[in-house]
A and B are shown apart, each in its own frame.
Chain A
């Protein structure tokens, strides 16, 4: 059984083909970077993976569940961090997380245990009762990552989670998520347009104009060249 499996996914906005036959499989515990310039189709792919959009062309399987046939089973296995923040800025971190837990049917003592576990994992436990608005961008992101761990998903989807963050916060968050994949066996799909967030040992999928241009381990793919140069030679667009 794979963590996340996508087969021949196609999607268009009117006449514009946003995704054209995208296929890949990501094993449990793998950190997979989805690298593509703006407009490559990353956000469309994320919207399809989270069922905000649906398409008749292609299949998506999450931890063995077909997203079209068993959407609720599949969605229950997904944790997602959207590009734009989805925290309620007026609520405390803890309340944001308990609201999310309830949307997954988790409440009371069980919710409390899981929330504190998740916050602890991201080094955010002592900020549980701070209002989200008072957190800096990096801490907000960490709160959102902690939030999507509460229901113990199998697959973590992150859509450009480091956009707008400074270098230190970016590094902390990429480290945290790499650790999560390694330690907990989570399947991670990390969409980005920043090549410096990809490690040589990461699985790399290069998406350009709705198509998969390259798929493999980042180190062997880039060879002796910096990843940014490899990407530029592949797509003609800087990463």
Chain B
């Protein structure tokens, strides 16, 4: 019971923080909308996409990238959450969290769940705007995408958590942007299907194929059409478990993560 009380409080706190940061909410929406409305419009004419599952007919580029942009929201939010952990740690509230008598792994998982809930809210807002713009999915897809978003959010949040345990300064977040977020996003199936990538480079295709973000995006893409992509689900879960283990190891007090901080 006390575990659930803590989970509720941590999610509520994150939601309160998020609603107060209106700039963050708008930025989180503007980014994918710019891609959808500007970038996709430009590429719509240049890129013709052949029919591959889950699509049953020829689709335009803007339809193709919506699931990838949902993944982008989850990815950026997971990383933003890791930034706030570094910030939290400097402000001391992470210390408060870690001195609670609940198991440390549960406290960190609560943080992950909290940031994932925020990501899901953002994705649904984005999907609403996309629907107004004319891009819709089967009604069941809007329900089926929720578990996919949660799994993707936990996996990417765990990545952020693992990174935050090794970052000691806020400035290093710029490095994370350059060396983690952008490569992860561009070397995935978010913006172009893998077979397109294979046409230009087999190596890049292989890198994309092992990128866990690719699998998260494909899981979301299939879910939006109310279909299950079991290999993508499996890969995302596997990556999530490994990254979570790394994050918990990073926050092990015996390793003295906070040791460097004094």
Q: Which residues of A contact B (CB under 8 A)?
A: 13, 43-44, 47, 50-54, 71-73, 75-76, 78, 80, 82, 84-86, 88, 90-91, 95, 98-100, 102-107
Q: Is B95 an interface residue (CB 8 A)?
A: yes
A102 and B12 CA atoms in complex are apart in Å by 11
CB distance from B91 to the nearest CB of A (A): 7
- B5 and A86 contact, CB distance less than 8 A: no
Tell me the nearest residue of chain A to B2, going by C-beta.
Answer: A105
Q: Is B96 an interface residue (CB 8 A)?
A: yes
A sample of 17 inter-chain contacts (CB < 8 A) reads A13-B259, A47-B259, A51-B99, A51-B253, A52-B253, A75-B101, A82-B92, A82-B95, A84-B91, A88-B93, A91-B13, A102-B10, A103-B6, A104-B2, A104-B100, A105-B1, A105-B102
Tell me the nearest residue of chain B to A85, going by C-beta.
Answer: B92
Residues from chain B with a CB closer than 8 A to the CB of A90 are: 16-17, 20
Q: Is B262 an interface residue (CB 8 A)?
A: yes
A73 and B3 CA atoms in complex are apart in Å by 15
Residues from chain A with a CB closer than 8 A to the CB of B17 are: 88, 90
> Which of A43, A44, A103 meets B96, CB within 8 Å?
A103
- B101 and A86 contact, CB distance less than 8 A: no
Q: Which residues of B contact A (CB under 8 A)?
A: 1-3, 5-6, 8-10, 12-13, 16-17, 20, 91-93, 95-103, 107, 253-254, 256, 258-259, 262
Q: Given A91-B16, A105-B6, are A76 and B92 also a contact pair (CB < 8 Å)?
A: no
A43 and B262 CA atoms in complex are apart in Å by 7
- B13 and A88 contact, CB distance less than 8 A: yes
Q: Given A54-B253, A86-B92, A88-B13, are A78 and B258 also a contact pair (CB < 8 Å)?
A: no
Tell me the nearest residue of chain A to B100, going by C-beta.
Answer: A103
Interface core residue of B16, B99, B253, B258 (most chain A CB under 10 Å) = B99
- A72 and B258 contact, CB distance less than 8 A: no
A231 and B99 CA atoms in complex are apart in Å by 32
- A104 and B101 contact, CB distance less than 8 A: yes
- B258 and A53 contact, CB distance less than 8 A: yes
Residues from chain B with a CB closer than 8 A to the CB of A73 are: 101
A91 and B256 CA atoms in complex are apart in Å by 30
Could you tell me the dominant secondary structure of chain B's interface residues? helix
Q: Given A99-B9, A99-B13, A107-B5, are A72 and B101 also a contact pair (CB < 8 Å)?
A: yes
Residues from chain A with a CB closer than 8 A to the CB of B9 are: 98-99, 102-103, 107
Tell me the nearest residue of chain B to A105, going by C-beta.
Answer: B2
Tell me the nearest residue of chain A to B253, going by C-beta.
Answer: A54
What is the number of contacts between chain A and chain B, taking CB atoms within 8 Å?
A: 86
> Which of A52, A75, A99, A107 meets B95, CB within 8 Å?
A52
7 nearest A-B pairs in the assembled complex, by CB-CB distance:
A105-B2, A102-B9, A86-B92, A76-B101, A103-B100, A75-B101, A84-B92
- A75 and B258 contact, CB distance less than 8 A: no
- B95 and A86 contact, CB distance less than 8 A: yes
> Which of A44, A75, A76, A86 meets B91, CB within 8 Å?
A86
A187 and B17 CA atoms in complex are apart in Å by 35
A78 and B103 CA atoms in complex are apart in Å by 15
A91 and B3 CA atoms in complex are apart in Å by 22
CB distance from B98 to the nearest CB of A (A): 6
- B2 and A47 contact, CB distance less than 8 A: no
CB distance from A101 to the nearest CB of B (A): 8
CB distance from B228 to the nearest CB of A (A): 36
- B96 and A75 contact, CB distance less than 8 A: no
CB distance from B170 to the nearest CB of A (A): 15
Tell me the nearest residue of chain B to A151, going by C-beta.
Answer: B101
A52 and B2 CA atoms in complex are apart in Å by 21
Residues from chain B with a CB closer than 8 A to the CB of A13 are: 259
Residues from chain A with a CB closer than 8 A to the CB of B2 are: 104-106
- A86 and B102 contact, CB distance less than 8 A: no
CB distance from A19 to the nearest CB of B (A): 13
Tell me the nearest residue of chain B to A95, going by C-beta.
Answer: B16
Tell me the nearest residue of chain A to B21, going by C-beta.
Answer: A90
A71 and B259 CA atoms in complex are apart in Å by 19
Residues from chain A with a CB closer than 8 A to the CB of B254 are: 54
Residues from chain A with a CB closer than 8 A to the CB of B20 are: 90
Residues from chain A with a CB closer than 8 A to the CB of B102 are: 72, 103, 105
- B99 and A52 contact, CB distance less than 8 A: yes
Residues from chain A with a CB closer than 8 A to the CB of B16 are: 90-91, 95
Contacts A52-B98, A52-B258, A102-B9 aside, 13 further interface pairs with beta carbons under 8 A come to A43-B262, A54-B256, A78-B99, A80-B99, A86-B93, A102-B8, A102-B10, A103-B6, A103-B9, A104-B100, A105-B1, A105-B102, A107-B9
A12 and B252 CA atoms in complex are apart in Å by 17
